[in-house]
Chains A and B, each alone.
Chain A
Amino acid sequence: MLTSAHMMALTPVILVCATAVTVMLGIAWRRQHAATALVSILGLNLALVSLYLVYSAGDVSTPLLVFDRLSMLGMVLVLASTLACLTMSHAYLEGYPGRKEEFYLLMLCAAAGGMVLVASQHLATLFFGLELLSMPLYGMLAYTYRDKRSLESGIKYLVLSAAATAFLLFGMALLYSQSGRLDIAGLLAGLESSGGGAWALAGAGLMLVGLGFKLSIVPFHLWTPDVYQGGPGPAATFLATASKAAVFIVLLRIVMVAPAFHVEWLHTVLGGLALLTMIVGNLLALIQTNLKRLLGYSSIAHFGYLLVALVVADGLAVETAGIYLITYLMTTLGAFGVVTLLSSPYSGEDASALHHYRGLFWRRPYLAAVLTVCLLSLAGIPFTAGFIGKFYIVALGVEAGRWWLVGGIIAGSVIGLYYYLRVMVTLYLVEPGMRGRDAPDNWGMKAGGVVVLGLALLVIAFGVYPTPVIDWMSVLTSPVH
């Protein structure tokens, strides 16, 4: 039965869900864009504060959910990215002619799903959280459905994500049929004792396919660039940050919990996928002429790097994955944020073709500077956050002696540098008489502008003086038991 300690631990999730219901009733009562955004942001901030209280109360575990330090980390990441996305959607939707308020409702539901997902230790909650995370995203991606690209990206994501879910579910069912348990730890122990047959192997493979789809690991990455390009800015941002971080953390938890995963062939498979992901992601990014597609491929490549932490899966792996995730989230939020700000006020398709950005520096120097910092960080240049993350990943790979993967990271970074630099050069080209898409004049005053600037400052600050975040991360990821 639920005790008060359990209720206490559940507070952040409950708060987000309550905010979603409140927002829904609020829309039913009266449509007001600013008020809806304010209530959503307030709710998420309350959840963040309550998260701190839960953290200081110590670990709590229910049959379905576990609130340990890893889930705290995941919840902080999900909540913070959702907050940034919400702020940007306010700027983005300002000029949208249709109904604006439902977007916040969808995003709050997705955030609740992400929080359940990172805390799940049972197949039921894993499935439930994953679906609560992706189901609102269909709506968010197709939100500006009068633009046909948005509709297309919504449909593509729906079909492929539902197929991935079917794979995941079938895999779960097969594993359950072999072990008779649905909680992850018990399931893996059951598989261990029964030795696992062909059915169990097929089940694990199908689950890997399902999760790989959501993380856009390379053989299953085909949807990513299309969906990022077509979807509205804030939705694509959410997909690239909060959604991916949550799925990655649950994968990390499974790999960490399972002694069954420490077999050589599985490491080989994961390592192969990681290598393939970083190389293919970076190579395909080379030929893109659209910034959102380019960021999509770059996010594929970054998750290739992150998989290295899963392949190594001991020693500093969790800490490294945490640090890399934080740097990735800050940087990606900043880069997508600039795209979103330039695309708003909503005027049809998002401004994402590279030629829209030609000479941006001469029109909007601060936004161009923010984008430059984020691109530098994505490329992993020293004195930006991206460098710290990449440094940790490489160090982890070297320590574990995975030379192939280290080589892949370095090769990928070199290719990456080329296409990031290409975008940066575009920003500073002078082209008289060329007027591309532009942000409204007072963008810096708006909350979205403040968030983007703050993210860029964070990226630099973390790159120059990473100690506090690293300390925090080593506390958060140290095993308590």
Chain B
Amino acid sequence: MEQNATAIIAEHWAIGVFIVAVIALCAFMIGVSSLLGGRSQGRSKSLPFESGIVGAGSARQRFSVKFYMVAMLFVIFDIEAVFLFAWSVSVKEVGWAGFWGAAIFIFILLAGLVYDSRVGALEWAPKSRNPARKSGS
């Protein structure tokens, strides 16, 4: 048991040092800057600050549904790409059969993409070229 504890300490002491160092560094930066830094007060100090630009409008702004469509398509295709990772880690083992499988998989994805672009799911410009599509969204 004693031996075991020593072994664990020997293995993990670096992590302990790292944690202590992180805490010490943060405390140093905050503490020193609060001691040395100047203070000022004013109305504009309490405004939200973003890269020097004063915020405008409400945060509860609503966006066009078309952005959502793009986001959704991204999520779906993104997840499909995960399956290709599974293929990539075993590409030597599965050989040509795996290659053709992946090729068919990518072809089906491509067919889906062609379909998406043809039905206008990828157009997020405010004005669709085809006026009939506007009602569908």
Contact = CB atoms under 8 A, between A and B. Distances in A.
A21 B107 CA distance: 10
Contact of A24 (B97, B112, B117): B112
Interface of A: 1-2, 21, 24-25, 27-29, 98-99
A28 B136 contact: no
22 contacts: A1-B97, A2-B97, A21-B108, A21-B111, A24-B111, A24-B112, A24-B115, A25-B111, A25-B114, A25-B115, A27-B115, A27-B118, A27-B119, A28-B111, A28-B114, A28-B115, A28-B117, A28-B118, A28-B119, A29-B118, A98-B136, A99-B136
Nearest to A29: B118
A315 to B, nearest CB: 42
A260 B77 CA distance: 41
B43 to A, nearest CB: 48
A78 B114 CA distance: 29
B58 to A, nearest CB: 29
A285 to B, nearest CB: 38
Interface of B: 97, 108, 111-112, 114-115, 117-119, 136
Contacts of A24: 111-112, 115
Contacts of A99: 136
A56 B97 CA distance: 27
A177 to B, nearest CB: 22
Nearest to B101: A2
Contacts of B108: 21
Given A21-B111, A24-B115, 8 more contacts: A24-B111, A25-B114, A27-B115, A27-B119, A28-B111, A28-B114, A28-B115, A28-B117
Contacts, number: 22
Nearest to A105: B115
B137 to A, nearest CB: 12
A24 B121 CA distance: 14
Nearest to B94: A1
A333 B111 CA distance: 33
B96 to A, nearest CB: 10
B71 to A, nearest CB: 19
Contacts of A25: 111, 114-115
A25 B114 CA distance: 8
Contacts of B117: 28
A2 B115 CA distance: 31
A225 to B, nearest CB: 31
A231 to B, nearest CB: 21
Contacts of B118: 27-29
A98 B132 CA distance: 11
Sorted nearest first, the 9 A-B pairs with minimum C-beta distance are A28-B118, A28-B115, A24-B115, A28-B114, A21-B111, A25-B111, A24-B111, A21-B108, A1-B97
A30 B79 CA distance: 29
A21 B112 CA distance: 8
Contacts of B115: 24-25, 27-28
Contacts of A29: 118
A99 B137 CA distance: 12
Contacts of B112: 24
Contacts of B136: 98-99
A297 to B, nearest CB: 36
Contacts of A28: 111, 114-115, 117-119
Contacts of B97: 1-2
A212 B97 CA distance: 38
A98 B136 CA distance: 8
